[in-house]
Amino acid sequence: AQKVTQAQTEISVVEKEDVTLDCVYETRDTTYYLFWYKQPPSGELVFLIRRNSFDEQNEISGRYSWNFQKSTSSFNFTITASQVVDSAVYFCALRRNNAGNMLTFGGGTRLMVKP
Amino acid sequence: DAGVTQSPTHLIKTRGQHVTLRCSPISGHKSVSWYQQVLGQGPQFIFQYYEKEERGRGNFPDRFSARQFPNYSSELNVNALLLGDSALYLCASSLGSTNVSPLHFGNGTRLTVT
């Protein structure tokens, strides 16, 4: 069975602080895909990144960076110099190979960035 | 280009009633998936449709059904509504069925069952 755990239910930071959102996953598959989505108050899930299980290179996109460590089954997300607009719920998700569009989501982390 | 559109945005129903939610995918996307998101939790997969055929089903009772039309739009139907069906229902579209392109989600339909 697949499982995604986001242990931090809520994080509060002050603007310009760096913040890391943790994601730990469980799967017996050797090929799988990991995702991060952002959900602002409007409700829409906004795609941020996809990583396949064979690519452990860390990725940076502007103020966002992702650290994928297969050895610890973790796929953590860091926001550098946080901004108020980063306030949202962030979800980590796992998809098995050939599982179509069936994603297993974690419970989400609510990030509040205060001015 | 328009994103994934869902209607209605909000809906209030009574226990035992039936509801139909609608979704139009991004132009060119042939796959539509439905997710249920209960307040405070992550989304849970309900169905995936591709080329009008069901390609995946999550752990939901038979009261939940869906279909996809020739124009790739989709409907999610829920019969005999229960209080526990109150949730945000999200529709997502993607180019294909088994490729790894990301899902594009709509804003959802918030269903309240009283």
Contacts of B57 in chain A (CB under 8 A): none
The Cα of B48 is separated from the nearest Cα of chain A by a number of Å equal to 7
Q: What is the pLDDT along chain B (114 residues), one digit of tens a residue?
A: 679 999 999 999 999 999 999 999 999 999 999 999 999 999 999 999 998 899 899 999 999 999 999 999 999 999 999 999 999 999 999 987 665 677 899 999 999 999
Mutation target vs B (from A101, A102, A104; most B CBs, 10 A cutoff):
A101
C-beta of residue A74 within 8 angstroms of C-beta of residue A23: yes
- Burial readout A9-22 (b: 16 or more C-beta within 10 A, e: otherwise): eebebeeeeebebb
Write down the pLDDT at residue B101: 72
Cis peptide before B8 (omega within 30 of 0): yes
CA A35 distance to own-chain centroid: 6
Of A44, A98, A108, the CB nearest to B98: A98
Chain B contact present for A4, CB below 8 A: yes
Write down the pLDDT at residue B99: 57
DSSP letter at A29?
A: -
> What chain A residue is nearest to B95 in terms of C-alpha separation?
A101
The Cα of A81 is separated from the nearest Cα of chain B by a number of Å equal to 26
Contacts of A95 in chain B (CB under 8 A): 100
